[in-house]
A and B are shown apart, each in its own frame.
Chain A
Amino acid sequence: MRQLPLAAAALALAALPPAFGSNYLTGVALSGVVFTVAAAALNLVYGYAGLLSFAQLGFWGIGGYCSALTVTRLGGSFWAGLLVAALVNAAVALAIGLPILRTRRHAFVIITLSFALLCALVARDWVSLTRGPLGIPGLPAPRLFGFGFTTATRFYYLVLAYAVLALGFLYALGGSRIGDTLRAIKQNEPLAQSQGVSPLPYKLAAFALSAVVTGVAGAIYVFYLKVVDPLFLDFYYMQTFLIVVIIGGAGSFWGVVLAGMVMVALPEALRFSNDLRMVIYGAILVVAMLALPRGAAGWFADRRLAALRAALE
């Protein structure tokens, strides 16, 4: 029963490309699904564990470069590229997570931000590996048993399959005792410790798992773009993930998933006035933040709380 909403959402998304009948719109939906997965991964560290991690952008970039390099340099398949992306991100997240998760929250934010900037520098300046600003173009369409993911629609279903896997996992994790423990640590870490909870393993697991999910999302997405270059580490991506989490409501799985789809569809829906499109988009964001400071899910939670208080008076 608990899986029902997830299955319904997946089916609705699966029906999109035929409904659109347009490569362009299918591409928009595809980006929306990928960004939603990355946002849901950020939600695990930020929404559940309370760790504002800008390292997500770095993991996204590392994932993109790992899969591209595996295919172009090592002659591996796209699938091997995803595996490399997952493993490298897990290793990097554990290596940097262990020291920085011991620091204070402000320090954590700043160090993860520096990490993301460092990744962008490496992508631009380690020319012998990444080809620098030229990037790595001409990434071939992934193939599986002779079937090529050559069209936008086909690639869309590949992305959707990963999204179901990743979101299903994050949903199960967030709803489990592990998710509850992360939320407890976020709300009151000393209290959790006094009840026998070791915060570090939980935070590290959240950090590393979100790195893997984000990295693989990036690894897949570059093959849709057919190119990876330093722009793939542009702050635009981080900003998108963060906006989706904040608008949806940090800590709410469904809030973030719905916000992911809406926030990507919104600029397209606003195409009726091309000049003002991004201005209106920005204005809607500002208004949404003013009206819903804790996101859509937070707004609903506040209403429930008010009703409860009224009932108890």
Chain B
Amino acid sequence: MTALLEVDGLAKAYRGVHAVADVSFGVAAGAITGLIGPNGSGKSTTIDCISGFQRPDRGRVTLDGADITGLPPQRIARAGLVRTFQTVRVYDQFDLVANLLVAIEPFRTVGWHDALLRTGRYRAARAAAEARARELLDLVGLTRLAAAPASILSYGQKKLLALAAVLMSKPRLVVLDEPVAGVNPTRINEVAGILRKANEAGVSFLIIEHNVEFITGLCDRVVVFDQGRKLTEGPPAEVHGDPRVLDAYLGIDEHGDHVAEAS
């Protein structure tokens, strides 16, 4: 398998604090890769750098061989790498269908004048996008609320909406930051099923998640972070049995200072 995403020597400091010190890893095409590590170990910062929301101090990120380091987020998204956010983001004032219609992908062939004049080309793209949006809402079980503003959703439902929104962009690689944190436990298996289905359809995943069962059941490979560095990587079972990994989680509890919830 060739690597779809390649992260090489990535580093990012916030005012002297080394959030990410020096990490290298890859996501194979077609794989579901997990990214775990204690709070504050630099997972979110890493995907911020990968997806263009932070400019790395050092290192290189390539997607399918193309250098995407430091490109703006929208360029990276259009190149096929789409992410969700740890603190869930939705358009609160839009209904669920409208939330899914913001994505550029279904409207790629539509120009500004098409949108303004509602040309046939625009209406066709819009109809197709709406049909796709309803399909995805059905997939995540939010059809009943399709016409409601997103502000009335629970936190977990917003995470499901964000997941559907990501799939609107027809991504090649999806990066999820804690997709089931706050999701109703009875629905977590459904989310795993949705991801597996998308994966079978050709979408690769990089998933940050603390839920061990979720990660173990879903991932081919897991990368473990500790204090801004890669501690180890390997198949989930192997990684979870690694004493260093246990140490990382426990050591943090002793010191306490790394436990604070990081964004």
Contacts and interface: CB of A to CB of B under 8 A. Distances in A.
Given A184-B94, A309-B152, A198 B72 contact: yes
A197 B104 CA distance: 6
Interface residues of A, number: 27
A305 B102 contact: no
B238 to A, nearest CB: 33
A251 to B, nearest CB: 8
Contacts of B115: 176-178
Contact of B149 (A183, A192, A305): A305
Given A180-B102, A181-B102, A193 B72 contact: yes
A172 interface: yes
A209 to B, nearest CB: 11
Contact of B116 (A178, A190, A197, A312): A178
A176 B101 CA distance: 12
A98 interface: no
A269 interface: no
A151 B105 CA distance: 53
Contacts of A198: 72, 74
B145 to A, nearest CB: 8
Interface stretch (B24-32, B81-89, B179-187): B81-89
Interface string A196-216: 111100000100000000000
Contacts of B77: 193-196
Contacts of B72: 193, 198
Contacts of B145: 312
Given A191-B89, A195-B103, A305 B112 contact: no
B40 to A, nearest CB: 21
Main SS of chain A's interface residues? helix
A188 interface: yes
Contacts of A199: 74
Interface in B145-197: 145, 148-149, 151-152, 165, 168-169
A187 B92 contact: yes
A165 interface: no
Given A172-B116, A176-B118, A305-B152, A195 B98 contact: no
A53 B186 CA distance: 48
A184 B152 CA distance: 17
B105 A196 contact: yes
A192 B82 CA distance: 11
Nearest to A251: B93
Given A176-B116, A191-B91, A198-B72, 17 more contacts: A172-B116, A177-B115, A177-B122, A178-B115, A187-B92, A190-B73, A191-B89, A191-B90, A192-B102, A193-B53, A194-B73, A195-B165, A195-B168, A196-B105, A196-B169, A197-B102, A301-B93
9 contacts: A176-B115, A178-B116, A184-B91, A184-B102, A194-B85, A195-B165, A196-B74, A197-B104, A305-B152
